[in-house]
Structure 1
Amino acid sequence: MACQSSLALGLLLLVSCVSWSSATDYTVGDSSGWATSVDYTTWTSGKTFNTGDTLTFNYGSGAHTVDEVSSSDYSSCSASNALSSDSSGTTKTTLKTSGTHYFICGIASHCSNGMKLSVTVAAAASPSTPSSPTTPSTSPGTTTPSTSPPATTTPTATTPSGSMSIGSVRDLAVIGLGGLMGFVLGVF
């Protein structure tokens, strides 16, 4: 019975590690929400937005709108060609693509009074491909010292102190799975 409990606990741990997501839910304007009194340029400062992150706009239903617009419509504060629009009071937008996304309030004069948000979304990291070793060129009469293959480097993303990157969590999950497999095989 103890083996089955340990196995169930191990599988639960594995599932929780695999389903963990690094996406962040940002509340636009923090406690002030989506309002005319917020400096959204300052609010975005220091934040890194990634694909999969969510923006949550909180505001009084009908008092404002959240319109995703093009760059030119953002500059001119025009919501007439909005890519999407909502006025429900809580608008959640998942950032699905990299690049700059533009949001404005379509209520007259709100955008021109600063109720506009521009977020730049980082491209998803792609696995790196190790470079192939190079062969040093030699001139006649020279000897080539014996060398080991060149080390390959993999770029790493910097994460805030106290947090872990998705790669670190994935590595821990693999290590944990290996240990769990060893435990299960050792018990049976």
Structure 2
Amino acid sequence: MASKHLAALAILAILLPAVAMATEFTVGDDQGWTINFDYEAWAKDKVFHVGDKLVFKYTAGRHNVFKVNGTAFTNCAIPPANEALTTGNDVITLATPGRKWYICGVNDHCANYGQKLAITVLEAWVSPASAPSTPAASAPSTPAASAPSTPAAPAPSTPAAPAPSSAYGISVSGYQLLMAAMVAVAFLVV
């Protein structure tokens, strides 16, 4: 019976560290979402995956956040005001892979003060530590073009080069992990 417990614990010890946990990124770290900050440099060494969250922190009323396409990002084209996030603690969950663009629509914060962020989001991987440290290097650096009349519509994206899903090159889906956990629990019960 003790050997079954040890086997179950060994299975869990191997599988649980491989599960990708969503990361929460505070955009601009301690500076937050503000003017005169280099968001390109901030994002450069970060790896973003589907499921991660971006938190835009700022004083409500002084800034806002718009999710835009590549053309709107390049031109600092401000979408309609009703599309703005304005709480000062806006959380965006990255739901799909590809390029993502965000701008501030207050005054000329985007065009003249650099308050804009472009990132590349990778698929959700089992082991965040195994993802490449510079995902932007494998994606085009120029934003994808799309019709300026629909700046809030998702822009076409070029997926980043695939990274191994774990240190062992084994992908573990949520279903597979659930099944492994059930097997481990079954060992404990028997």
Aligned to 1:116: 116
Structure 1: unaligned runs, 5 residues or longer: 1-5, 127-154, 160-164
How far apart in 1 are the matches of 2:92 and 2:114?
Answer: 20
Task: Return closer, same or farther for 1:32/1:156 CA change in 2, 3 Å cut-off.
Answer: same
In the TM superposition, residue 123 of structure 1 has moved relative to its aligned partner by: 3.0
Q: CA offsets, 1:39-77, max 9 Å, x none? A: 100110111111111100000010001011111111111
CA contact (8 A) 2:59 2:88 kept: yes
Task: Return closer, same or farther for 1:43/1:170 CA change in 2, 3 Å cut-off.
Answer: farther
Structure 2: unaligned runs, 5 residues or longer: 127-162
In the TM superposition, residue 111 of structure 1 has moved relative to its aligned partner by: 0.6
How far apart in 1 are the matches of 2:60 and 2:177?
Answer: 44
Counterpart amino acid of 2:114? G
User: Greater RCO between the two (CA within 8 Å, min separation 6)?
Assistant: 2
Q: Within 5 A, what are the aligned runs for 1:1-188? A: 22-80=21-79, 84-112=83-111, 113-124=113-124, 156-157=164-165, 167=172, 177-185=182-190
SS in 1 for 2:119: strand
CA contact (8 A) 1:36 1:110 kept: yes
Counterpart amino acid of 1:183? L
CA contact (8 A) 1:63 1:87 kept: no
Task: Return closer, same or farther for 1:83/1:166 CA change in 2, 3 Å cut-off.
Answer: farther
Aligned length: 137
Bigger-Rg structure (1/2): 1
How far apart in 2 are the matches of 1:98 and 1:57?
Answer: 19
Counterpart amino acid of 1:100? R
* TM-score, normalised relative to structure 1: 0.60
